[in-house]
Structure formats: structure tokens, C-alpha cells
Amino acid sequence: MANVARLQEADIEKIYLCPLFKGIDTSTLAAIIKKPYTKVTECEDDTVVYKTGQKLSQMVLVLTGELGLINTNFRHESSIVEVFDSGELFGSEYVLASDNHLNYDVCALEDSKILTIDYSKLVADKDFAKIIGVISNNLLQFHVAHTRALQAHIYHLAQPTTREKLLAYLTDESNKAGSNSFHIKFDRQELADYLAVERSAMCAELSRMQKAGLLTYRKNDFTLKKK
């Protein structure tokens, strides 16, 4: 059984808002949380939560903190592939696949708390037979949205220069926010890892872009300037 005592009110709110449970009533969701295949885990900063090659049969909801997919090459150099913030869901591409071996390490980027649900056990649970269709559709819709995000990442990486990578990423974030002024979730090192560029060179390029009147920024808050 999940240790419900370890769930704070804010944690429970994130569970209710999780896209996997859209359309599920609170009493049913409370029953799911109490099942033995649903667990709450606290992870210290820099902990490897799942290792490359490990099978993943759980959907993972970040309740607090931040998880990252970490790629480590043969020279033991690591870079962040993707970041999952508080309230975000991870794992659809693995629980839906016949081969559910992880391609990357999953690490806590800061002290974090996660909720994990064994998806195969959830859909096989006769107590929830009436809602499995809803949950399965929710998972599919979430996976489609996540696939689109990965396509956007590929587009950002495909840009030939650091400036063009930054503009592609920041333009997409502006469009998602519906405003020229917006907040990004990455710090500078995470953004450099996401765009596969060197941090100091990226920061220098941001400074040049600001001087050129393309944008202004302060920490994670950006404003794109129209010509």
C-alpha cells in the first residue's frame, strides 16, 4: 500500500490533476492510491531512480522535485536528455511498448518525491474494470502529446547554430505560453544539455542576442522582441 501518510495535500492535488486520471472521480482515485502496486518514494538529490537497461512497467508521477533522463556515453560524460518537473508524468513510451527496457538512467536532479503505479497491474485489477477504458485512452492521449514534444526537441537539435537552436526552443515556449514573455523550466546547464551545446558558449550567445535586441531575460524569464 502506498504510504498515504507521506502524501501532503499538494501531492494529492497533483495526483488528481495528473492526465492519466482525467475523468476519474476522487473516490476511485483514492482507492487506486491505496493499492499495493501504487507506491510513494522519496529520492535524494543525484540518486539514480532507474538504471539504463532496467525494465520499466510503472507510470511515474513527480510529486515534488525534478527527475531527469541522463545519457552517459562511453567516456562517462553525462548529459540531460529530458527533464520532468513536479506534476509531470513519465513512462508512457515504456509501459506501452513490448520492449520496456530503459534507454537512459532516470535520476533525481534534486530531492524529490514520486508516485509510481504499475500500469499492467492497474489495468488487470477487476476493482477498476469500469474505468480502464478511460485510463487507457488518457494514457494514449498523453503519449501522443509526449511524442509531439520529442519531435519538437528533435527540431531544436537539428538547427545548425546555437543561436538558431535557442530561437527555435524559445519560440516554441513563447507559442505554448501564448505570450512573448514566458518562463522556462530549465536552468542554464539544463538548457545547454537539452540543446546539446556548451553552457558557456550558450550563455555568451544569449548575451549577444540580448544586445542585438532579439530578446531580454532574467534567470528563467524571457521576452522575445519583435522587429
The H or E element spanning position 78 is strand 78-85
What's the mean per-residue pLDDT of the chain?
92
Residue 227 confidence (pLDDT)? 67
The architecture in CATH of the region 161-224 reads: Orthogonal Bundle (1.10)
CATH 2.60.120.10 intervals, the chain: 4-154
Q: Which residues pair with 41 in a beta bridge?
A: 114
Helix (H) or strand (E) holding 58: strand 58-64
Residue 79: the pLDDT is 80
Which single residue is written with the C-alpha cell 515534488?
Answer: 64
- Alpha-carbon distance values, 161 to 64, 149, 157, 179 (Å): 35, 21, 9, 25
- Is residue 188 within 8 A of residue 203, CB to CB? The reply is yes
β pairing state of 38-43 and 112-118 = antiparallel
Cβ 20 vs Cβ 50: under 8 Å: no
Q: Please tell me the predicted confidence (pLDDT) of residue 78.
A: 82
Give the mean model confidence (pLDDT) for residues 201-216: 97
In contact, 36 and 30? CB cutoff 8 Å: no
For 4-154, CATH number out of 2.60.120.10, 3.20.20.330, 3.40.50.300, 1.10.286.10 equals 2.60.120.10
What CA–CA distance (Å, rounded) separates 34 from 27? 11
List where CATH 1.10.10.10 sits in the chain.
161-224
pLDDT value at position 98? 86
pLDDT at 38 over 70: yes
- pTM of the model as a whole: 0.76
pLDDT at residue 34 in the model: 92
Q: CA nearest 100: which of 140, 49, 55, 58?
A: 55
What is the grid cell recorded at 215?
530578446
